[in-house]
Structure 1
Amino acid sequence: MKTPVLAQKSIIEVFLKPISLLVLLLSLFFANAAHAQQTILTGTVTDGTTKETLPYVSYVIVGTTLGGKTDADGKFNISLKGEGNVLKFSYVGYKAQTKTIKPGTNQVINVQLMPDAMLMNEVVISGGKKPKYRNKENPAVELIRKVIANKAKNKMENYNFVEYQKYELMKFSLSNLSDKFKSKKIFRNYQFLFQEQDSTKIGGKNFLPVFQEEKLSDVYFKKNPEKTKTVLIADKRVNFDESFVDNKGLTAYFDRMYQDINIYDNNISVVSNQLLSPISDSAPTFYKFFITDTIKNHNPQLIELAFTPRNKADLLFEGKLYVTLDGNYAIQNAYLTVNKDINLNFVRALEVKLDFEKNPDQRYHLSKSNLIVDFGLSKKSGGGFTGERTVAFKDFKINVPRPDTVYKAAGQPVVLADASKKSEEFWTNNRPEPLSTAGVKVYGNIDSLQTIPSFKRTMDIVTLFFAGYKDFGPFEMGPVNTFYSFNGVEGFRLRLGGRTTPALSKRYYFETYAAYGFKDEKWKYFLSGTYSLNNKSIYSFPQNYIRASFQRDTKIPGQELQFVQEDNFLLSFKRGENNMMLYNDFYRLDYVHEFENHFSYTLGLRKWKQSPAGSLYFNNLNSDGLISRTDQINTTEISVGLRYAPNEKFYQSKIYRTPFVGPNPVFNFRYTGGFKGVLGGEYNYHNFMGSIDKRVYLSQLGYTDVTLEGAYIIGKVPFPLLAIHRANQTYAYQLNSYNLMNFLEFVSDHYASVNLDHNFNGFFFNKIPLLKKLKLREVMSFKVLYGGLRDENNPDKNPEAMQFVRNADGQSITNSLNKEPYMEGSVGVGNIFKVLRVDAVKRFNYLDNPDVSSWGIRARVKFDF
């Protein structure tokens, strides 16, 4: 059982991602045309003697600052708009070469650079077959093994104490915008937003900033016991209208996409994926290394070490490392990028630059990092969006002991009360580098943008389309995906509802809906009133509210009522018979309290009346052995829920809270007690349930999502109050349900389950010619459920227990799991068209139960990078 704010999402969850709520939507909504009057230059640079391609050759348009470097295959691509007519190529150990450009044309310029004998001690010309790359007796591999062997002493964690001040700048922009795009009528009043940069930089020439944030923090690290405390001194960011965008969630989303880069970690998180570090323990297995230069005029001397992935589609970097020759074998500088064929969605370009400075003990610490990622629907020209994160460190101190009080409350950032109120003078004095004129204007430009009526109308449409609500100020109507649905009991169902917003009150919130089924001719409705105890929106973190509600509606047995989202239109399509439902009356009183450390608890009081609907019935055997029918079950419950999700980040949309899955486990515990004779309750019982969710990263083999769950129910109860295991009769693949189990097929009063879902990130498909170009990803899952019924709750052993449901042929539809565990597994292909996963699901046992399938095909829409 999950708490409502963390409810399992439907197959349209892709539309609830924060990036779709802001930037991605704008990018797609205003599809960008290609640049006009451009000069596009492409080509390959090779060694004029050996004919081998040359990686990372510098090129520049003579007389300008425009230029770049070739990729690992020696290829380059540059777009110009009349700037210069000579292209110059230069590379260490080779003679520079120039090429003439014909403006306004598309040209292929292949360049052969000749070795410069004046710069080389020896030139060896060899013919014949190119030698195969080997790790054995390769000086570049020997060097990288020394770097790996010295990683431990070069890590920051090697010091007993470390402290520093950290400055972060995050920028996000619509990029590569054409002049035609800028001149669209809708942007007539927005010209002040557009900015320009060098066309060779990632993101192209024209861009439109939509988000910017600066942070200044003091960081304290202690090795034993290991603790890290961050004190946020100042925070300045673009703030959007909260009715459209969750500003804190947007920051958390960008922080996840652009995490800190630690070259000494085995895996580096970039755009929600983990890429193997070029100095990881297993790097020589997956990378090729080449010594490309020795820099003797640097103290200490540096070796320039180029690296490239053995398989260009794998989640690996390529680039250059600069290694010190002073015995530390530390990284002095690093340049990381990715191959154009990498199995990353929508990433057109990625660039990481790392600079290190020397400590008093002659070792090095990271002094500055810069990460730029350019996204787009296509690798080719056209509009997209670019994110850039710069982190600078200063006042770096090592082994300076601090009192234990300094590390108190470590793990969660401590935010100073005036962090968001710092003056511009403060920022001017504390930025390591001044912002550009354009960067300074971003904050004011976005504020101005939100006052323009046409922008407000656009965001209104965005919110309606993606979040499902139409805002009317103090009241918003929705969600629209529940306005129409259908099922076997109600038939065609219409629903209309909405809720109040903080524009009416920040303390009081009301929500309601009314629905009507045209087959059962019954009205359903919901009404709730919520009081915020911390004077904040009840949808923002940390929540602290009390809610009273009444709900009369239908429910599929065993399908947790996701507060008011059960009647999603896309979930109406189901396989098999779906006419066993419940009519429910819920009277509820709930208290929710979240803490900044992501521990939360809930207290609840619920009076619940459930009546069978459709072909569902409640039958008992009387003392004469005759069947008597029960019209309803009445219970009165109290509940206590505990949840702990250390370091959890999430985005709060209009409907769901969407957590960003990370390496930390999430713990849930819930106790529900039923009390006979209290407010009409008919049963005494105690239900204890716990679960642990964790993602396990396996480097190049992808990751596994693991869920462990168990429950124990004490008491004699009818089957609707037992654990009705989560079945799925839709055609969508659901991660937390049993996809070939029928509704109400299995019940237990004690159970334990393991759910494994593994994504290989294309590890095998990337090795198959032609197939790897599709960038598909292998997925597989396995689910096992152990459970059972004590005799007192099993009607086959105890005639006094409520009878299980049977079909027209007298076969039991509902069963216990006493014989053996239920098992199912799947293998599938993900990333089809970048958004679709298709699984072939196999059910391994209980195949003699009525109306079951041993296998099936299920699909799931999921947006991934």
Structure 2
Amino acid sequence: MFAQTTVVSGTVTDASNKQPMPFVTVAFAGTTIGAPTNNDGKFNISTDGVVKQIKVSFLGYKDVFLPVKQGVTQEINVRLVPVANQLNEVVVTSGKKPKYRNKDNPAVELIRKVIENKEKNRPESYPYVEYKEYDKMQFSLSNVSPTLADKKFFRKYAFVINNRDSTTVPGKSLLPIFLNEKVSQYYYRKSPEKEKTVILGEKNVNFGGSVDSEGLGAYFKHMYYKVDIYDNTVFLMTNNFLSPIANSSPTFYKFFITDTVAFKNTKLIELSFTPRNTADMLFVGKLYITLDGNYAVEKVELNINKNINLNFVNSMKVNQEFEQNPDGRFHLSKSTTLADFGFTKNKKGGLFGIRTITYGNYEVNKQRPDTTYQNQELAESDEVKHRSEQFWEQNRLDTLSIAESKVYKNVDSLRNMPSFRRTMDIATLVLAGYKGFGGFELGPANTFYSFNPVEGFKLRLGGRTTPELSKRYYFETYGAYGFKDERFKYFLSATYSLNNKSIYKFPQDYIRVSTQYDTHIPGANLQFVQEDNFLLSFKRGQNDKYLYDRNYNFDYVHEFESHFSYHLSLKRLTQAPAGSLYFLNTVGDNTSNVVKDLTTTEVGLSLRYAPKEQFYQGKIYRTPIPSKYPVFSLDYTAGLKNVLGSAYGYQNLHLQMDKRFYLSYLGYADVTVEGAKTFGQVPYPLLDIFRANQTYAYDIYSYNLMNFLEFVGDHYASINIDQHFVGFFFNKIPLLKKLKWREVASFKAIYGGLSDQNNPALHPSLYQFPVSATGQPITYALGNTPYVEGSVGIENIFKFVRIDLVRRFTYLDHPDVSKMGIRARVKFDF
């Protein structure tokens, strides 16, 4: 009638030498409640359930089952007996270790055979391939104290804390908190090449509105990318590792034939490998190679080398198994990726993630109709997301542990607890800067206060609605006031989703109307509605040339499943100079004329193609996840003269390509190439004002030593390269290796100019370029020399700070420019 707690503690020792044994798993038999022993071999476990025995297990030792007394505190000491008999004495003599060589090395000859046969052992070597895929992604808290649920604050969460699993990973007590399952059917045709994935079902834990579980799952899977051992590189934890069977692997790995083993009734050669340089992005592990002449991999064990420069990752390994096809070749049947995360290396606690992908119903050379490979469906329907339990029981190609099977129900219960909701609200305020009030959020907090020379102290208050209020209607607004210019500013937008999905979800399909009156720095490329970020208030040099912008916008955005999208826009903008900026031209007989403001009406069309793009999607935001695929964009803008008071007619065309290049052990490079051309005669505010940056923050897409409004043009081409070496050089220097700093370098160049028709020196009716208070020019057109700047820097300082030494190479004779400068940036990386 009353709950009785059974508590068992004790010490586990080795029966042969009586030494305490750490990391031994001790659990109540038939449950997932247990814990590993500590460094002194001691353990303490407890439960309120009905139990009869404890089970003590450790690799290489006989399992022990011992009875326990129900409802009492007791001490049980255990001695484990090794499974194998003790070996006789072995005498090892020292000798000169032979130098490792590739030449005449049978292990290297074997790996070269594997490399030669890579293509025929890949699924793409068949004319047709199809299979079912079950993808399970699980995250757990590791080694949570078994007594935590007894503490007063956590008692209400005991149903979550006690759902631990101490059997899946030896030496780890796991408390699952996140689970994502997906079942899909895959089809591949070689000629003409086509592939299609049909998602049959997907299931996520649901933490409520504060956390987007789908987006979280997409981000986790990006870190735990699918491993193809036959690729030259393996992408894990946002880094590229050189595969042990890459074409160049004998140059970077040492290989050793260590054994001949039997696996699934097949005789295999065990080929061990280790990095030549332990600081490089390489693996340690074993390959099991077939002896049938195909030189296929039937099993692989990959471990991340503990010496490499990774943040928050204590350990990580990948295990893969392959099954034989009827023709004797092999296909991947199961892939398991495990990673142990923590802020420290003490391994006492942290996060533990497991992604298991199981493949079934594998068929090759089965021809399907052309319609099978058409109409790729990437977005899941509501039916797919709400499959029955019977569906999952029939379609899971793997099993859930007892602890995993309880996660969905536990998180549902947790989500409905007021204390949990309050905690998530605080986390949202700290991390995202917003405070929720039901279907409305107040923020962002970093824009509440800012300052600049024109407005002085500026206070701003705003917010936005959330999908909790409506999935179709969204509103965003703010009001701001400058105490120096004594003007009120505002922004208001209303958005309507046409596909009844959140406008922050892929694929987007919405219309938006908005109006705004606020200040703007010509040439600044700050995020929309984020101009007032407090940290951006600090700027170098002269910064008193502003614009008052009053605009009215209409936008329609439509994304397709293929990741092609278009954006139609209509915009009316009135720009008025502020601060020391002015609009001045010459009319009639050399009469100077001060222009109060400039009004334009524009229509625009933007096309974008981002193949296989994925997002980390929050509740009301989304961030693209970098990948190896390029992103192309084309923007066309037309100014409509005499429409809604517009003073000029013109056209602008802009092209851009962004791509991340993964360079194996040399890290990766983010490259942006773009060009633009303006057609028609317009004053300088309507030209391309090149992106400048006078803050002390390093901006990836701006020129960090260019002054605001320094360069304008009606045509240009540019390239931007941001190279991350991820510790390739520093890892070879002991002190820097210990600090885990990483090298970074950038190169930026823009070449362009100003045609005669837009040169105010040749056409006085155009606005004159601004000059300083002493009459010195501050705005220029590029000449025959491009603007060039570069930087070298260190990132991963304290695991999130990047500092660059930036050098400007051209146009050093311009007034008030800096030849060199130090800039900082905050970014979290693995």
| Fold similarity call, TM over 0.5 | yes
Q: Quote the residue 2:64 is aligned against.
A: none
Q: Is the 8 A contact 1:338 1:350 kept in 2?
A: yes
Q: Quote the residue 1:250 is aligned against.
A: 216
Q: Quote the residue 1:235 is aligned against.
A: 202
Aligned pairs for 1:436-835 within 5 A: 436-560=401-525, 562-653=527-618, 656-835=621-800
Q: Quote the residue 1:154 is aligned against.
A: 121
2:293 is the counterpart of 1:331: no
Partner SS, residue 567 of structure 1: coil
Aligned partner of 1:188 among 155, 162, 166:
155
Q: Which amino acid aligns with 2:439?
A: P
TM-score, scaled to structure 2: 0.89
Q: Is the 8 A contact 1:231 1:416 kept in 2?
A: no
Aligned pairs for 1:261-276 within 5 A: 261-276=227-242
Partner SS, residue 343 of structure 1: coil
Per-residue CA deviation, residues 161-200 of structure 1 (Å, 9 max, x unaligned), is 1011111111112222224554454422111112333389
Q: Is the 8 A contact 1:685 1:716 kept in 2?
A: yes
Q: Is the 8 A contact 1:641 1:669 kept in 2?
A: yes
State how far apart, in whole Å, the 2-side matches of 1:688 and 1:743 are.
23
Aligned partner of 1:137 among 87, 104, 107:
104
Partner SS, residue 683 of structure 1: coil
Per-residue CA deviation, residues 680-728 of structure 1 (Å, 9 max, x unaligned), is 0001110111100000111111111110111100011111110001001
State how far apart, in whole Å, the 2-side matches of 1:391 and 1:84 are.
30
Aligned partner of 1:81 among 43, 58, 66:
43
Q: Which amino acid aligns with 2:780?
A: N
Q: Quote the residue 1:219 is aligned against.
A: 186
Moved more, 523-532 or 606-615: 523-532
State how far apart, in whole Å, the 2-side matches of 1:87 and 1:502 are.
50
Q: CA deviation at 1:415?
A: 4.1
State how far apart, in whole Å, the 1-side matches of 2:468 and 2:663 are.
47
Q: Which amino acid aligns with 2:607?
A: L
2:314 is the counterpart of 1:352: no
Q: Quote the residue 1:52 is aligned against.
A: none
State how far apart, in whole Å, the 1-side matches of 2:760 and 2:121 are.
66
State how far apart, in whole Å, the 1-side matches of 2:361 and 2:59 are.
41
State how far apart, in whole Å, the 1-side matches of 2:770 and 2:148 are.
62
Q: CA deviation at 1:332?
A: 1.1
Q: CA deviation at 1:662?
A: 0.1
Q: Quote the residue 1:201 is aligned against.
A: 169
Q: CA deviation at 1:602?
A: 1.2
Structure 2 unpaired stretches of 5+: 1-7, 15-20, 30-37, 45-53, 62-74, 78-84
Q: Quote the residue 1:860 is aligned against.
A: 825
State how far apart, in whole Å, the 1-side matches of 2:171 and 2:592 are.
73
Q: CA deviation at 1:826?
A: 0.7
Q: Is the 8 A contact 2:378 2:561 kept in 1?
A: no
Aligned pairs for 1:339-378 within 5 A: 339-378=305-344
Q: Is the 8 A contact 1:479 1:498 kept in 2?
A: yes
Q: CA deviation at 1:59?
A: 11
Q: Quote the residue 2:364 is aligned against.
A: 398
Q: CA deviation at 1:413?
A: 3.2
Structure 1 unpaired stretches of 5+: 1-35, 43-57, 67-75, 91-102, 106-112, 118-122
Q: Quote the residue 2:71 is aligned against.
A: none
Per-residue CA deviation, residues 575-600 of structure 1 (Å, 9 max, x unaligned), is 11211110010111111112222211
Q: Is the 8 A contact 1:636 1:674 kept in 2?
A: yes
Q: CA deviation at 1:451?
A: 0.4
Q: Which amino acid aligns with 1:613?
A: A
Partner SS, residue 216 of structure 2: helix
Partner SS, residue 578 of structure 2: strand
Q: CA deviation at 1:417?
A: 5.8
Q: Is the 8 A contact 1:59 1:87 kept in 2?
A: no
TM-score, scaled to structure 1: 0.85
State how far apart, in whole Å, the 2-side matches of 1:541 and 1:185 are.
43
Q: 1:297 to 1:177 in 2, by over 3 A?
A: closer
Partner SS, residue 405 of structure 2: helix
Partner SS, residue 190 of structure 1: helix
Q: Which amino acid aligns with 1:167?
A: Y
Size of the aligned set, in residue pairs, is 779
Per-residue CA deviation, residues 274-302 of structure 1 (Å, 9 max, x unaligned), is 11111111111111112211126874421
Q: CA deviation at 1:657?
A: 2.4
Q: Quote the residue 1:320 is aligned against.
A: 286
State how far apart, in whole Å, the 1-side matches of 2:171 and 2:501 are.
38
Q: 1:615 to 1:374 in 2, by over 3 A?
A: same
2:242 is the counterpart of 1:280: no
Q: Is the 8 A contact 1:62 1:88 kept in 2?
A: no
Q: CA deviation at 1:148?
A: 1.1
Q: CA deviation at 1:473?
A: 1.3
Partner SS, residue 781 of structure 2: coil
Q: Quote the residue 2:51 is aligned against.
A: none
Q: 1:546 to 1:38 in 2, by over 3 A?
A: farther
Q: 1:547 to 1:174 in 2, by over 3 A?
A: same
Q: 1:268 to 1:39 in 2, by over 3 A?
A: farther
State how far apart, in whole Å, the 2-side matches of 1:279 and 1:693 are.
30
Q: Is the 8 A contact 1:295 1:304 kept in 2?
A: yes
Q: CA deviation at 1:104?
A: 13
Q: CA deviation at 1:124?
A: 11
State how far apart, in whole Å, the 2-side matches of 1:302 and 1:643 are.
49
Q: CA deviation at 1:269?
A: 1.2
Q: 1:469 to 1:446 in 2, by over 3 A?
A: same
Per-residue CA deviation, residues 351-405 of structure 1 (Å, 9 max, x unaligned), is 2110111000101001111111111101113331111111111111111111111
Q: Which amino acid aligns with 2:769?
A: F
RMSD: 2.9
State how far apart, in whole Å, the 1-side matches of 2:303 and 2:607 are.
43
State how far apart, in whole Å, the 2-side matches of 1:533 and 1:40 are.
64
Q: Is the 8 A contact 1:723 1:747 kept in 2?
A: yes
State how far apart, in whole Å, the 2-side matches of 1:839 and 1:214 are.
42
State how far apart, in whole Å, the 2-side matches of 1:40 and 1:496 are.
61
Q: Is the 8 A contact 2:334 2:357 kept in 1?
A: yes
State how far apart, in whole Å, the 2-side matches of 1:481 and 1:184 are.
36
Per-residue CA deviation, residues 548-569 of structure 1 (Å, 9 max, x unaligned), is 1111100111224633111111
Q: 1:416 to 1:743 in 2, by over 3 A?
A: closer
* Highest RCO, 1 vs 2 (Cα 8 Å, sep ≥ 6): 1
